[in-house]
Amino acid sequence: MNPIRVMVVDDSVVVRKIVTDVLSADPDIEVVGTAVNGKVAVAKLEQLKPDLVTMDIEMPEMNGIEAVRAIRGGQGGREYSRLPIIMFSTLTERGASATLDALSAGANEYVTKPANVGSVGQSMESVREQLIPKIKALTGRPVTAGPVRAAAPAPLPPVAPRTGPGKKPAVLVIGSSTGGPEALARVLPLLPATLPVPVLLVQHMPPVFTRQFAQRLDRLSPIRVVEAADGSPLIPGTAHLAPGDHHLVVRTHGRAPNANLQTGLNQGPPENFCRPAVDPLFRSVVTAYDGAVLAVVLTGMGSDGRNGAAEVRAAGGTVIVQDQASSVVWGMPGAIAQAGLADEILPLDRIPEAILRHLAGVSPARSAAAILSGGVR
């Protein structure tokens, strides 16, 4: 298999060298060239023919966001309009906002630049741990080390039979990672403000980013979207996004018969190399809602959510996953599908309708238009 051809775009000589040295040390990756800004990068696409581009955000002449828009618009050649692009971002409010702009413009993923590290060696290790698994995942290569291990493609098994009747959902939970910001931005705006259940979201993201992302989703969506806080009541039509570096769970507050459900945050150990992680949320809602759960897993690397999905189905809940063709990376949804745990495997544009259908407790034959026109009851 030929090495993955990568172009490194950054106006900093130091960053270009760190990234180039890290990537060149991996036998599966070849750095075919560099560029000092977006304008040069777009001009070099036809010459270098990269399989993937790493892109800084703040650069002179043409910044990273403008470069992403140019590439997606076909300026580097129409064949590169789907070229995987990973942004290099700073872990700041401004960096988070710019990164989300880049993802909205069509970038596939991002990594954060090393901050407050003591040596070039530590910077290189930080870049290596973050960047190489994402490069391999976005180019469809197996990852043999680190936090991501891609499963070999295999025919999907039949869906595991249920041991008991399914339950009408009383809560909606959604997990996502690579490609998730754009996927969520396409799903949540199609959920009505009259949604009859609370929503809990886990998107693998660092602190600062989640606050900005929740604000963006809130602006886009009829439902209310907030970055989750500890101890918030769970009410229909409000979505709680797990904050960076915290697991989000549901807990019971008070004693029966007046007990109520609320959000809980903790910094327990990372699961599946992630915090926040999907599995802790899925486990907690199964307990809190006695299995009356609709779980959705969208595009993402790794297998976070697979164990939680097994618990959801075992308790009578329903699991929907995004299909391979519409996923940026079919890791998380693929792991669930390949374990026979997905009740439905759907393209992204059909997932909002499926959510409304399951919440309404109607058959798959009923159309999205009928559900939306009649409301969800």
| Tens-place pLDDT, residues 315-331 | 999 999 999 999 999 99
Q: What is the CATH number of domain 171-374?
A: 3.40.50.180
Six token digits for residue 263: 């959000």
> Which pLDDT score, from 0 to 100, does residue 376 have?
40
> Which pLDDT score, from 0 to 100, does residue 258 have?
54
> Which pLDDT score, from 0 to 100, does residue 373 have?
47
Q: Which long-range contacts (CB under 8 A, 24 or more apart) does 46-51 make?
A: 46/76, 46/77, 48/5, 48/7, 49/5, 50/5, 50/6, 50/7, 50/83, 51/4, 51/5, 51/6, 51/83, 51/84, 51/139
Average pLDDT over residues 300-326: 96
- Segments of the chain assigned to CATH 3.40.50.180: 171-374
Q: Which residues are bridge partners to 86 per DSSP? A: 54, 109
> Which pLDDT score, from 0 to 100, does residue 134 have?
94
pLDDT band of residue 362 (cuts 50, 70, 90) is low
Does an H or E element contain 30, and which?
A: strand 29-35
pLDDT above 80: residue 103: yes
Judge: domain 4-138, CATH 3.40.50.2300.
yes
> Which pLDDT score, from 0 to 100, does residue 374 have?
45
Largest CA distance in the chain: 69
Look at residues 292, 345, 302 and name the one whose alpha carbon lies nearest to residue 134.
302
Share in percent of the chain as helix, strand, coil (round to 5): 35, 20, 45
| Tens-place pLDDT, residues 43-94 | 999 999 999 999 999 999 999 999 999 999 888 777 888 899 999 988 888 8
Query: Which sequence positions are flagged as catalytic?
Result: 177, 204, 304
> Which pLDDT score, from 0 to 100, does residue 113 have?
83
pLDDT above 50: residue 366: no
Q: Return the SS3 of 6.
A: strand
pLDDT above 90: residue 259: no
pTM for this structure?
0.88
- Segments of the chain assigned to CATH 3.40.50.2300: 4-138
